[in-house]
Amino acid sequence: PQGAGRALRSRRSFTIGAIVPSLDNAFFSNATNALQEVLDRHGYTLLIASHRYDSDAEVRITRSLLERGAEGLVFVGADHDPEMFALLAQMAVPYVLTWAVDPSGRHPYVGFDNRAAMGRLTRHLVDLGHRQFGVISAPTAGNDRARERVLGIRATLQGHGLALDPKHLVELPISLGGGQEGMKRLLDGRARPTAVICINDVLAVGAIAQCRVSGLTVPGDVSVAGFGDMEIAALHSPGITTVRSPTLEMGRAAADILVGRLEGTPVEAHVELEAPLVVRGSTVAPSALPERRRP
């Protein structure tokens, strides 16, 4: 009753919408929890929806949340249908992009440079002496974070006079099974990679599991790296070399930006966070043994 009366008096809904690609991704869950904690302290309610990497669905959900009185919106990534941005401009509703940076500077964002972050991880492996690489990625269509990470790998390899064999890039859904299947495909090739980069820690855990099934050791036979620094990356044996995604910082900063804009408080609209490399035991210098086919 108090909330309803407050909304009637102020003609405001005090509701924020967050539209994420998937509700079964721990990274999005952690960031959304942090977002909700800050919004709750300021008296806002958070509504959450998932578009399942479908840009048309994202536009429909955006329209639906706006029709229900959402005063601000949070999105994941920088690649969205222009119709969505036109709708937001028409309704004059504040929003913020997360998990990426917008090089154009046209849109408010809080995130990190996925390409540069993955470049740091790739450079670490090159410095260890690896020259044969494999990549297990989420589908890059409709996922600018995955695309940027793969581009970061390619650019770094090219800068060291190396190249990623097209046959050594596998795109599969983010799951333990996807990581296992991706590693199986890479090991079935004639020239086995000495290092496999996964664009997500879940894929990395699945990839390491497949190595064990195939009779290979990590990192003795194959170095495996992930992205995100989930809790399991540190607890896994061996610990997984990865990049730490600043999930909590993103959620809190996104809330601060929206609350500031709605309450008329000056805020920084473009926030780039650090995504540091975390080196653990899953990556070492490649074995001196000659390349061989999978056992």
Residue pLDDT, tens place only, 167-213: 999 999 999 999 999 999 999 977 899 999 999 999 999 999 999 99
Does 290 have pLDDT greater than 60?
Answer: no
In angstroms and rounded to an integer, the radius of gyration of the C-alpha atoms of the chain is 21
22 phi, psi to nearest 5 deg: -150, 145
pLDDT at 11 over 80: no
Q: What is the mean pLDDT of residues 153-168?
A: 96
**48-89: per-residue pLDDT in tens?**
999 989 999 999 999 999 999 999 999 999 999 999 999 999
pLDDT score, position 10? 52
Structure tokens that stand for 109 in this block: 């964002």
pTM over cut 0.95? no
Look at the chain and count its residues: 295
Mean pLDDT of the residues in the chain:
92
The pLDDT assigned to 2 comes to 52
In terms of C-beta density within 10 A (0-12 exposed, 13-18 middle, 19 or more buried), how is residue 283 classed? buried
Q: What is the DSSP letter of 168?
A: G
pLDDT at 23: 85
The pLDDT score that the predictor gives to residue 25 is: 82
